[in-house]
Chain A
Amino acid sequence: MGNNIGEPMPVALKQPGQYRAFLGALIGGAFGFALVVVLREISGLPAFQTEPTGYPHVIVPAVTAPLGYLIGLGAFDYWFRWAAGAATRPEDHSQHGAHSWRDYFKFNTDHKVIGIQYTVTSFIFFFIGGAMAMVMRAELAQPGTQVVDPGVFNGLFSTHAALMIFIFVIPIFAGLANYVLPLMIGAPDMAFPRLNGLSFWLLPIGGLLFLASFFVPGGAFDAGWTGYAPLSTGAPLGQSFFNLGVQFAGASSVATALNFLVTIITMRAPGMNFWRLPLLVWANLSTSLLVVAATPFIAGVQFMVLFDRALGTNFFQAAEGGDVISYQHIFWFYSHPAVYIMMLPGFGIISEVISTHSRKPIFGYRLMALALIGIVVLSYTVWAHHMFVSGMFSWLRVPMMITTLLIAVPTGIKIFSWLGTLFGSVLHLYSTAMLFALGFIVTFVMGGISGVMLGMVPLDIHVSDTYFVVAHIHFVLFGGSVFTIFAGVYHWFPKMTGRMYDEKLGRLHFWLTFVGMMGSFLPMHWIGMEGMPRRVADYSAQFGDWNLLISCFAFLLGAAQLIFLYNMVVSWRWGPRATGNPWRAKTIEWQVSSPPPIFNFPEVPRVVGGPYEFGVPGARHAIMPGEEAEVRRPEPATVGGGRE
């Protein structure tokens, strides 16, 4: 342990918490630094090695300081005590629940506190990453170099993508699901609450490492979020911070996914069989299956890059017998499933929002669940469609094209089923969550169509690595994932905060975001097809007008997010109190108070029917504790997602 220091010591430094955590980080960092210097001195080497790819006296502390921080924070206290044979209390709930705002800055084991920690942290990084996008659009508004030089520009788009992917979209879904999923399945908490707490605290470390790279010699990592070797293996020190940041974010993801899997499989309330699970739960089950099997690949390949840089290995050094293209195979074997990791939880949110706000059962519930599983299976077979022009084994392109196009089928099933759900519904269009869900259909389908086009090898040969790809990724990640995130945040805001948000500001946020998004990303398709490559600080004058227009819409898009920020902050503090179930939804999280009691339910609810039985007379999804006496009707025949 890092906190074994002499006796006279303030109480604050003994208790788990931020003070002890910073002390731990200091000790951990000093330990790592001393280890490197001492070992190098013993070996007769100069104490400080400052090759751009080296700096062991910086990268070792970049690992040990975060570990010291986590130990100081108390993330390992219970396990250390248990491992040392000291007395432990398995039912110790002292770290559970938030009684004041200070508890959100501590190591907590309550899934609801962790859910909010995740959500707020992710949004902080969303705004930082968004600000970087604004600087890039300022630079790109005119051809030539005006605002930042090309080196800084490369660092900005690399960090923007790394933050948005690893520290915003992936974890915020884990955060929203952390809050609502145990409630939805009638569980008192996640299966491994302490692991859950650790998962969260690994996350800001990853984000801070990415940001810290701006302050090291050579600047931020600038080989793109894809970090292709050998550009990354020869890049300055910042690249090592990317390699390490991915480890922390990845470990966080894997631990959370394991937690979800065990929670969903073993902790469902009585009667909650798989065909009665809300689709959000199905979505997170599918996502977790992807995360646990795929994430180790990116962790591994970033270590290989780090080892090539710092330890003189030659995984990707062609001159030394390394294989350059293999980096891309390993990288995309994670990073293609990752786009579904960033989309499936959103599909789950959309199902909840559309069903609730259109007062109808999900159309074709079982096929919706099976489509998720179909996407999981197919998504492991399509990775090399990112490599059609990479010079890989050329025969591989055709089978990868076929699987890539086929994955549009289960995705299409989901779109058509949502449209089927809307048919004959009572559609509550004034709800911001619903607006984002419908807007999502409009934008995501366009991203899906450009995805099919990119999946076709001859078209991909032309538009690969152009602005067409930038347009596509933002249609699926902004028009797709981020729209679903907003839908989810608005939908569950009353549940998570116990307050109502301002619906008028919410609608304004939606419309400005929708217009800004379309105006920013739609023209990118055109300039890409016409010849503008991506990841460039400067471009031919012929694209100047379009880029100016794109930048104007991008600033509108950025400004619209400030409305969201204002609405969330002000409503959380001063909004009107929310009732337990303001949307009259059927799923279990809405049957408890807003926010829910610290241990969720006095007794576990009993599930008796499907989750979306709107309009079915007398149908119930769950019987809450204390309600037993009121319910005497027989279960209707349609329960459980049956056919009409």
Chain B
Amino acid sequence: MTRATLFRLVVAMLVLTAVISVVMLQFDWNGVAGSTEADDIDLLTDVMIVLSSFVYSIVLVMLGYSIWRYRAKPGDESDGEPIHGNTRLEIAWTVIPTVIVLFGAGYSWFILDEIEARDADRLQVDVTAQQFAWRFEYPEEGVTSTELHVPIDRQVEFKLDALDVIHSFWVPEWRVKKDAVPGQPTRVVATPDRLGNYEVVCTELCGIGHSTMRAPVVVESQEDFDQWVSDQGGEARGGAAARGGGRGAGTVAAEGQQIFDAQGCSGCHTLAAAGATQTIGPDLDEVLPDRSPQEIEQSIVDPDAELSPGFNQGIMPDNFGDALSPDELDTLVRYLSQNAGQGGGGQ
């Protein structure tokens, strides 16, 4: 191979690198960026796209040139040049990739430290995952919700716990993800910097309802967040009001609805009164109306005792007897017998 050929190949590699990089960088591969962590991760993605384009261009140009230049004519029975190797070249293609990947590792490490650094005034949210629903508790504000509300531009630390199997907490726009592991609380931080509505997506296979295990996320201004907190009966940031026993003596409808949401029932069941529309488990509006309260209670604490047609044994967790206090169970049963089959509207 002459110097001129070598020069042309190198130019071809660089041109191809430039073309692939420029085309690839036109797209927001990771979608909308909604947190400061997302910006760091997207920058790393872009750096990797350019480096990868370079490596891939080398391979494509070498391969393309060999096919174009050395392709055998039909019937050609000759052999190629008996070249067994070239020590300098082999050292080069060992050392250069090593340097590239070590650079990548160092840069990733730097980004990792940056996206995981903790702010002093971060908001604490305790996340509980169970088949197939999310629950968010704000320990300082005294609020529990099935929606995740967070103020903009303030770091949030999520403490994740799981009640049954492993789930994984992911908000694609924030780029952060962490498993929720039974018996082993984990933590993850994100700093949302874009207002809007998003979704928590479960990304660890958790059973039959895995693909529908979502929860709404609202990123809002501090004022809207404070308003939401006090609407939920909690204590807004800096507010002096006492918690006042958030739940108080509500009606069966309100309390029952809260238990229904908090236990994740809407993750699997349809119940128009609660706005629940899932079909993993039986449609409660269909199966409950002609049931006695005792039968409903049994279906909650021992779901396999009597199965609705078309549903398998073991499909529903059997630990609600432990998760609910006797009072809560009673409220939930009364709520269900009053509301199942009654259609929506009340809530």
Binding site for B on A (CB under 8 A): 52, 150-151, 154, 217-219, 222-224, 228, 230-231, 234-236, 318-319, 322-325, 358-361, 363-367, 389-391, 397-398, 401-402, 405-406, 408-409, 412-413, 415-417, 419-420, 422-430, 438, 441-442, 445-446, 449, 452-453, 456-459, 461-462, 464-466, 526, 529-531, 533-539, 584, 613-616, 638, 641-644
Contacts and interface: CB of A to CB of B under 8 A. Distances in A.
A459 B40 CA distance: 10
Given A318-B183, A644-B83, A398 B112 contact: yes
A537 B210 CA distance: 9
Which of B56, B77, B108 neighbours the largest number of chain A CB atoms within 10 Å of its CB? B108
11 contacts: A52-B313, A360-B79, A364-B84, A367-B85, A391-B160, A401-B105, A405-B105, A424-B81, A535-B210, A615-B80, A643-B86
Contacts of A235: 314
B347 interface: no
Interface string B82-106: 1111110110011001100110110
A422 B70 CA distance: 8
A323 to B, nearest CB: 8
Contact of A52 (B94, B206, B314): B314
Contacts of A459: 41, 44-45, 48, 108
Closest A-B pairs by Cβ, 9 of them: A318-B183, A531-B172, A536-B211, A391-B186, A615-B79, A360-B80, A465-B203, A422-B66, A615-B82
A236 B108 contact: no
B181 A427 contact: no
B174 to A, nearest CB: 9
A416 B93 contact: yes
B44 A456 contact: yes
Given A359-B78, A423-B66, A441-B63, A365 B204 contact: no
A413 B179 contact: no
Interface of B: 1, 29-31, 40-41, 44-45, 48, 52, 55-56, 59-60, 62-63, 66-67, 70-72, 74, 76-87, 89-90, 93-94, 97-98, 101-102, 104-105, 108-109, 111-112, 115, 160, 164-166, 168, 170, 172-173, 175-184, 186, 201-212, 280, 312-315
B175 A359 contact: no
Given A150-B208, A424-B81, A535-B210, A412 B109 contact: no
Given A230-B164, A363-B85, A449-B52, 10 more contacts: A151-B208, A366-B85, A391-B184, A397-B112, A402-B102, A420-B89, A430-B74, A458-B112, A526-B29, A538-B212
Given A219-B312, A644-B85, A446 B56 contact: yes
B31 A422 contact: no
B303 to A, nearest CB: 12
A361 B83 contact: yes
A73 to B, nearest CB: 36
A287 B160 CA distance: 39
B211 A419 contact: no
Contacts of B178: 389, 391, 461
A458 B82 contact: no
A359 to B, nearest CB: 4
A446 B63 CA distance: 14
B59 A358 contact: no
B105 A456 contact: yes
A147 to B, nearest CB: 14
Contacts of A406: 98, 101-102
B158 to A, nearest CB: 12
Nearest to A527: B31
A230 B79 contact: no
A428 B108 contact: no
A503 to B, nearest CB: 12
A82 B244 CA distance: 83
B103 to A, nearest CB: 9
A538 B44 contact: no
B205 A429 contact: no
B56 A413 contact: no
Contacts of B60: 442
A427 B71 contact: yes
Which of A222, A425, A537, A613 neighbours the largest number of chain B CB atoms within 10 Å of its CB? A425
B210 A412 contact: no
Contacts of A535: 205, 210-211
Contact of B177 (A367, A389, A430): A389
